[in-house]
Amino acid sequence: MRLLIEHANVWDGSGAPPFLGQVLIENERILAMAPQSETLDADGAERLDARGKFLMPGLVEGHAHLSFVDTPRGTALGELPPEDHALLTMDAARKLLGAGFTSACSAAAAKIRLDVAVRDAIERGLTDGPRLLAASPELTVTGGLGDGRRLHLHQDSFGVAVDGPDEVRRMARLCLREGCDTIKLNISGDYGTESALAEATVMTDAEVAAGVEAAHAIGRRVAAHARASESVKRALRNGVDIIYHCDFADEEALDMLEAQKDRVFTGPAIGIVLARLESLRGDNSWQGQGFLERLKPLYEATCRTHHEMRKRGIRIVIGGDYGFAANPQGTNARDLEHFVRHFGFSPSEALQAATRTGGEIMKRGHELGQIRPGFLADLLLVDGDPLQDVKVLQDNKRFAFVMKGGVRYLPCEGSPHVRRM
């Protein structure tokens, strides 16, 4: 199959300005590209006139939770039977693809094999969805984020409580055996936990090192939930590959991140914070006010930190913990607007975080995240200019198509989406 997309406003993902051009696709890859004024050898190709439209790389969700299926609370995920949960996760994958995201790096699954099963189903063509790197559940400590248990009341959540390096190592190895690409460690607490708040570092150096050792021994990666400054340092000291949040990183932590910026990836996941701040507007109850007292300093800290990280050239990916009732699956493109409004990114910088840097976190920077000859044909054709207003990407009715591996998907209400080869 050959397709020539002509007269498009081509933005290649590198940060260079867009140009009026043409892109030739053969099967699943980009064969050639050129300014519209030049001639491409496109014999036998279908021609698509994209006049007035914006052609860009497909988006990459850098902090995906496909099995977080828009529940109001974490323990609701533990109440879902695996069969129902798998179907809902597949539906979330279709929604994400329809929102323009052709790849996703998972930051955690709610059950050990959910990401793995959906990843494999997508790769086999059994269901539609983005290219997916599968993660383990969040390995946490007793009382940490994701431990939904109480005395005399067992409640599963999205985490698995492990204490001590031996338990961490054993559970990490089990998840790796089952096919997870990434092990997730909750090194710090969070604003929604009572016993381990966001500023607390609750997983020890030995526990972090055990998880990293287990994953790195077989060439897999480790991601960390790390809001507290010490948790960021602990992640860096022990070789964690992806560090999410980093909200309270102090000068020493920022220096350490900058020193390892060619090795590590970061992602703020501000979407859920902003969504919950909005949900608390007008809530004068003591519970609401207490929650607000935790969220405001967290929001202010993450804005300060990510302004600084952007200046230092630390790699930052988009992705905002989408998958809760406050920020449902499929609304992930909001992050682009958040990066511009709250972190000082230009639209081009935000789009690069969502494309070129996204390809790198997928471990496929040589073939994903840019429009270049030889790269996979993962593309968006948009009615509108995201470089002028990134909000246009929040409306998939403005997508002429979402393309993954040369296959065009026409987003429509609900899912699955209409395919066109």
Asked whether residue 238 carries a pLDDT value surpassing 70, the answer given is: yes
- The pLDDT tens digits for 174-219 are 999 999 999 999 999 998 776 678 899 999 999 999 999 999 999 9
- Do 274 and 412 fall within a single domain? no
| DSSP 8-class letter at 397 | G
Q: What is the pLDDT of residue 418?
A: 54
57: left (phi over 0), alpha (psi -120 to 50) or beta: beta
- Do 328 and 278 fall within a single domain? yes
Q: What is the pLDDT of residue 411?
A: 77
Residues shown for the chain: 421
Q: Please choose, from the candidates 395, 377, 373, the residue with its C-alpha nearest in 3D space to the C-alpha of residue 386.
A: 395
- Do 54 and 67 fall within a single domain? no
CATH number, domain of 148, equals 3.20.20.140
Weakest-pLDDT range from 49-53, 72-76, 276-280, 395-399 = 72-76
Structural domain ending residue among the three candidates 343, 361, 379: 361
Q: What is the pLDDT of residue 351?
A: 98
Per the prediction, the chain carries an average pLDDT of: 94
- Do 181 and 305 fall within a single domain? yes
- Do 81 and 226 fall within a single domain? yes
Structural domain ending residue among the three candidates 340, 361, 382: 361
- Do 29 and 171 fall within a single domain? no
Q: What is the pLDDT of residue 334?
A: 97
- Do 203 and 113 fall within a single domain? yes
Taking the C-alpha atoms of residue 220 and residue 277, their distance in angstroms, rounded to an integer, is 35
> What residues contact 165, with CB distance under 8 A and at least 6 apart?
204, 206, 207, 209, 210
Instruction: Produce one character per residue of 218-234: b if its CB has 16 or more CB atoms within 10 Å, e if not.
Output: eebbbbbbbbbbbbbbb
CATH number, domain of 386, equals 2.30.40.10
Q: What is the pLDDT of residue 94?
A: 95
- Do 249 and 389 fall within a single domain? no
- The pLDDT tens digits for 78-123 are 889 999 999 999 999 999 999 999 999 999 999 999 999 999 999 9
Q: What is the pLDDT of residue 365?
A: 98
Q: What is the pLDDT of residue 153?
A: 79
State mean pLDDT over 60-65. 98
Taking the C-alpha atoms of residue 89 and residue 110, their distance in angstroms, rounded to an integer, is 10
H helices of 69-164, in order, are 75-78, 82-98, 114-123
Q: Copy the structure tokens of residue 363.
A: 């471990």
Total structural domains within the chain: 2
3-state secondary structure of 336: helix
CA-based end-to-end distance of the chain: 8
- Do 357 and 370 fall within a single domain? no
- Identify whether 268 is preceded by a cis peptide bond (ω within 30 of 0): no
Q: What is the pLDDT of residue 167?
A: 98
- Do 235 and 344 fall within a single domain? yes
Q: What percent of the chain has pLDDT over 70?
A: 97
- The pLDDT tens digits for 327-357 are 999 999 999 999 999 999 999 999 999 999 9
Whole domain around residue 338: which residue ranges? 59-361
Sign of CA dihedral 33, 38, 41, 43: positive
State mean pLDDT over 302-318. 98
- The pLDDT tens digits for 145-154 are 888 888 887 7
3-state secondary structure of 169: helix
Taking the C-alpha atoms of residue 130 and residue 120, their distance in angstroms, rounded to an integer, is 11
Instruction: Determine which helix (DSSP H) or strand (DSSP E) holds 360, and give its type and residue range.
Output: helix 356-361
